[in-house]
Structure 1
């Protein structure tokens, strides 16, 4: 079982019904297919080549819906480790996020991203995850997360800690 996270679906005109996502995944050979909320959280057992499945799913979404979105997957244990090492005090779980990155950013990219002002918001990259705590919530950020993400140079998709916990629960 793997958790496949699609970046930026059902926002900004990139509509991807979860029933269609489940159908695409099953059509590519995935089993035990389910989704959680309408933000691109797909749980399934992919065919033997997990990375090949991710790229094929990206291509299938692009062909069927006309937009490209990265698919980033982790095992349930990897999600649990990301949750366990979250470096910030969790005052409100919906204000704390893990951004799952496609790859580990280069140290020079992290250094560049650290030059951006964040106000009372905090972020830290640990391996292939960027951990974030928004002081006032993601809807009212003090930091410019998009600028930091561009500086890191690798695509990622964020989930709040409530969603990460639920995905772990659903995957077991």
Structure 2
């Protein structure tokens, strides 16, 4: 384990980064970690916050144990995503993929929700999926071909949305299948979490 929980390559990055940040515009980011805290893929939130702080980001917060982060920093979302992917994977010893967006993008996701009625009645059954690369144009239609039991799939606002009528646990839409249809790794959060992250970032729609 690297000193202070910060991987070696990340310490080298910090050493090359100018420390005077007060005159630079800081961006609020929201990061979703994929497939953690299941089985042996354990990432304690306190350690994760410490790691991200050690990478030079500020105001680091987490929400529940599924891997939802808010923090401020410089650079593009793509640059931050690459930094987190490498640092988290090195620190915890297994590959971890993150989907990073700016907080300014988040209200657009909330507003694009194609299932407003279902979100009020059963918020844990409405899932928004964000992917590494933009979803393929026919991703929603291809996922919908395997949908069953009242499941509805829509593409909206740059995300894939799924309403699981009988709940996520009973669905035949596996993560591997969804990734293949979207064209890159994806991770999902229910609408309650999506709204909570917007509120935490101060950008609630």
- Fold-level match, TM-score > 0.5? yes
Cα distance, 1:151 vs structure 2: 2.1
Tell me what 1:107 maps to.
Answer: 137
Tell me what 2:57 maps to.
Answer: 30
Which of 168, 178, 183 is matched with 1:138 structurally? 168
Matched, 1:86 2:113: yes
Tell me what 1:95 maps to.
Answer: 125
Matched, 1:76 2:103: yes
Q: Secondary structure at the match of 1:125?
A: strand
The C-alpha deviation readout for 1:55-101, integer Å capped at 9, x for no partner, is 11111111111111111112233222112111123221111111111
The C-alpha deviation readout for 1:14-37, integer Å capped at 9, x for no partner, is 100111111111111101111111
The C-alpha deviation readout for 1:144-165, integer Å capped at 9, x for no partner, is 1422332222111111111111
Whether the 8 Å CA contact 1:96–1:161 is kept in 2: the answer is yes
Tell me what 1:16 maps to.
Answer: 43
Q: Aligned partners of 1:36 and 1:54: how far apart in 2?
A: 18
Q: State how 1:27-66 maps to structure 2 within 5 Å.
A: 27-66=54-93
In the alignment of these two chains, the number of paired residues is 171
Q: Aligned partners of 2:174 and 2:163: how far apart in 1?
A: 11
Tell me what 2:24 maps to.
Answer: none
Q: Aligned partners of 1:87 and 1:26: how far apart in 2?
A: 35
| Runs of 4+ in structure 1 over 6 Å off | none
Matched, 1:163 2:190: no
Higher relative contact order (CA 8 A, sep 6+): 1
Cα distance, 1:112 vs structure 2: 3.8
Larger Rg: 2
Q: Secondary structure at the match of 2:47?
A: helix
Q: Aligned partners of 1:83 and 1:153: how far apart in 2?
A: 23
